[in-house]
Amino acid sequence: MTAKIIDGKAFAATIREKVAGHVARLKEEHGITPGLAVVLVGEDPASQVYVRSKGKQTVETGMNSFEHKLDADTSEADLLALIEKLNNDASVHGILVQLPLPKHLDEDLVINAISPEKDVDGFHISNVGLLGTGQKSMVPCTPLGSLMMLRDHHGSLSGMDAVVIGRSNIVGKPMAQLLLGDSCTVTIAHSRTKDLPEVVRRADIVVAAVGRPEMVPGDWIKEGATVIDVGINRIERDGKNVLVGDVDFASAKEVAGAITPVPGGVGPMTIACLLANTVTACCRANGLSEPEGLTA
């Protein structure tokens, strides 16, 4: 068996098309333009590239993009003041503070200063609690994108056995909650899990989000299982820097029924779902129906 490759780049393009369609209707029917504000503190090269990409894609879908670039030594008080200003700005429907922040800034304090309704990253403690209790929330982008790809591939996920490898607040825990919401039987596994290979082998769905290069080999994968590889790890191979996932793609694709590649799998979905969350936040703020196909 050779797995079907789940093309995240192509799927993300369809999500952006849906976003653009919803944005056009909001403008035409209600005179509303969704707005996304991104705050970047410091000059981390990877963050700068990511923020540029977010801004470009925001504009391409017809939304307003507001970028705020602050010096690395910006005080916590000044950053919180900017967030409060954005919270009160009716033209801003989504706020994202790019992580990681400089060490002198308290990330939890900053994230929880964002209005939960505008927290398009889905990291605010209120959104975490709402998601965990099955209520309407803003959903973290990477798990949301992973869920969308799983639904697209399988249709219904009801009754499937899912294993999430990784227990981070950003991916592992919210991913498990989303799978539970779609009536999967869910196990959260991690580095301390006893007999991890056997736990993974029973799964119909494997979501690898542990941050270890090629940690999951093909012989851990049940034949025909669907593998969502969230990992993005830069390693040296044959004298070159290459990107690999948390799954050993070469061996896993010979066993799995479907698998996401790295790069080109989950990664492109993250920004697409950020745009989707911004449209969702805009609709909720204006008492309009949520955009079909863009939410959990």
User: Would you call 54 a catalytic residue per the annotation?
Assistant: yes
Catalytic residue among 18, 57, 98, 222, which?
98
User: Would you call 57 a catalytic residue per the annotation?
Assistant: no
Catalytic residue among 57, 118, 119, 121, which?
121
CA torsion, ordered 8, 14, 20, 23, to nearest 10 deg: -90
State the greatest distance between any 2 C-alpha atoms of the chain, in Å, as a whole number.
57
237 CB burial (10 A radius; 0-12, 13-18, 19+): exposed
Q: Would you give the DSSP letter of residue 283?
A: H
106-113's contacts with Cβ under 8 Å and 24+ in sequence apart are: 106/76, 109/76, 109/80, 110/76, 110/79, 110/80, 110/83, 113/80, 113/83, 113/84, 113/87
User: Would you call 98 a catalytic residue per the annotation?
Assistant: yes
Which of 101, 1, 95 lies closest to 43 in space, CA to CA?
A: 101
φ/ψ of residue 219, rounded to 5: -75, 0
Positions marked active-site: 54, 98, 121
